[in-house]
Structure formats: C-alpha cells, structure tokens
A and B are shown apart, each in its own frame.
Chain A
Amino acid sequence: MTAAPTVARSSASSRPALQRPIFDWLFVLAALGVVAIYVRAIYYTPIEATQGAAQKIYYLHVPAALAAYIAVSLTALTSIVYLWLHDERADRLAEASAEVGLVFLTVVLTTGPLWGHKIWGAWWAWWDMRLTLTLFLWFVVAAYLVVRGAVEDAAMRARFSAVLGILGALLIPFIHLSVYLFQARLHPMPIVLKPSEPSLPPQMLTTFLLAFLVFAVLCLAFIRVRYRVGVLRDLAAETIT
C-alpha cells in the first residue's frame, strides 16, 4: 500500500465554510422537532398506569439510544471508507459522528439510571448486560476521541481511530440483543423493535415513532454541524503554514 493519506489538508474548496452559517436549516428543523416532541410527550401522551410519569422518559431514552447506534455505525462505515480510500472527508465525518454519538450515549446513560432508580429501585446493575455494554461503548467512543487528540501525525491519527471506530460499532448488535442472550437482566424485552407487533398503545407508539424520527434528524443535524466545525478547525490549522 503506497497511497499517501491526505488527512487534514484543507483544500481551497473548503474556503466557503468561512461564510456558511454553522447551524443550518436542518438543525433549526430538528430543534423545533425536539420542542414539539417535548410538548407532545408531556401534555398529549397518556400516563402509564404502573410507572406513572417516569415512563415518559422512554420517549427520550430509547430514541437517544437508537440515534447513538446510527452515529456510531456511521463512524464505523466512514472509518472503513477512510481505510479504503484515504479520503480526509471520510475521516472528518467519522470524527463528527463519534462525538455526536458520545453525546447521545451520555443522554442514554443519564436518563436510564434516573428511570431505573424509580422503577427498578436501582441506579445501576452491573449484571444487566445492556447497561454494562452501553457503558463500554461510551468508553470506546471516548477512547476514539482521546486517540484523535493524542496522536500528532494526521495519517496515523486517522488510521488508529478508524480501527477503534470499527471495533466500537461491533458492540451495537450485542447491546441490542443482550436481552435475548442473557437471562439475568433488568431491561425488559423489546416492546417496539421485535418480530411481532409493537405492544404499545397507539398514542404512545405514535409519540415514540415521532420522537425517534426527530432525534434521528437531530443526530444527523449535529453531525453536519460538527463536520463544519472540523472543516473550520483544519482551515485554522492551515494558517500555521
């Protein structure tokens, strides 16, 4: 393999990034969608009989987990593209997706224990593999970002982090299937993403599906914004030379 990586070498075509607003129409749309989901979940979605209002955390917790899956999967996909083509844009997109994935995983890992403490009577249980593997994924993605900050050489940084990004995404199927693989668990079996029909009442299912759509769009909007920040950072670094 003799192809020279072209990481962090901003081209003249990146110059329009200076004029472009950092938050675009997609981000504004996603932000309005989040406000709408808050209103719908709080005021227009019924309260579950056994859990009370805490069940409404479901509309933030699960969509955030699915959005994190999307972001981390995108990191792995663009990492593969980078290792194949050595395209700096793939590396920058992988970095943007990883950082956004970490934010969504943080939402999952903060809302989950709050909900669990109320419903299960426990903030955390190490023997629940969905909890523990999600925390592992958080650490792997955090390590991915630490590696990027620690390695000076751009080509080595991109290559090392690409490998870490691909390995991290391998945890996702285990996290999702952990409720089937392990008997000892606190997490319930899937109530929407399962072979048979979802077992949520229609009003709750509508709110959940809308929340999933909105948070997936928010995830993509954050990735676009973070990508632009990466372009600006590389342009700023270019001013050294």
Chain B
Amino acid sequence: MIALLSAAQTSPVSSWGTFHVAYALVAVIYVGYAVSLWTRARRYRREIESEKPSSTGG
C-alpha cells in the first residue's frame, strides 16, 4: 500500500532534484516536438506557395 505524508511531515527521501529534472525534461520534449511540427509545417507551406520542390523528407 502506498503511504502518504501529512502536511507537517517531511519526506525521509530527498528527491526534489530528480522530480524537478524529470518534470522539466518532459516539458522540453513535448514543447520541442510541437516546435518541430510547427517548423516543418511552415517550411512545407512556403515550398507550396513558392512552388519549389521539397528537398527533405518527413
């Protein structure tokens, strides 16, 4: 069974650093992927508008 701490207690394990790193890393991965999608969409739109062929895949 999972045990919880009351508001007055502090954890015996100091793992705030790990927690912060993980949450920041996940945010970077999702935001980075969203930016990559936006960048690719913008590039393809420019290519279509200028009627130039795409030089790269995916």
Contacts and interface: CB of A to CB of B under 8 A. Distances in A.
Interface of A: 18, 22-23, 27, 34, 38, 42, 46-57, 60-61, 64, 99, 103, 106-107, 110-111, 114-115, 117-119, 145, 148-149, 191, 199-201, 203-204, 218, 222, 225-226, 228-229, 232-233, 235-237, 239-240
Majority secondary structure of chain B interface residues (helix, strand, loop or mixed) = helix
Contacts of B4: 46-49, 201, 203-204
Given A18-B45, A27-B34, A240-B54, 12 more contacts: A46-B5, A47-B5, A49-B3, A51-B15, A52-B11, A53-B19, A56-B19, A103-B29, A111-B22, A111-B25, A237-B53, A239-B51
A184 B30 CA distance: 33
10 contacts: A48-B2, A48-B3, A49-B3, A51-B13, A52-B19, A54-B22, A118-B18, A222-B34, A236-B47, A239-B47
Given A18-B48, A107-B26, A47 B11 contact: yes
Given A239-B47, A239-B51, A52 B14 contact: yes
Interface string B4-48: 110001011111101101110111011001100110110011011
Contacts of B37: 22, 222, 225-226, 229
Which size class do B's interface residues fall under?
Answer: 35 or more
Interface of B: 1-5, 9, 11-16, 18-19, 21-23, 25-27, 29-30, 33-34, 37-38, 40-41, 44-45, 47-48, 51-54, 57-58
A145 B58 contact: yes
Given A218-B30, A235-B48, A236-B44, A199 B2 contact: yes
Closest 5 CB pairs of A and B: A54-B15, A52-B11, A52-B13, A232-B44, A49-B3
Contact of A204 (B2, B16, B41): B2
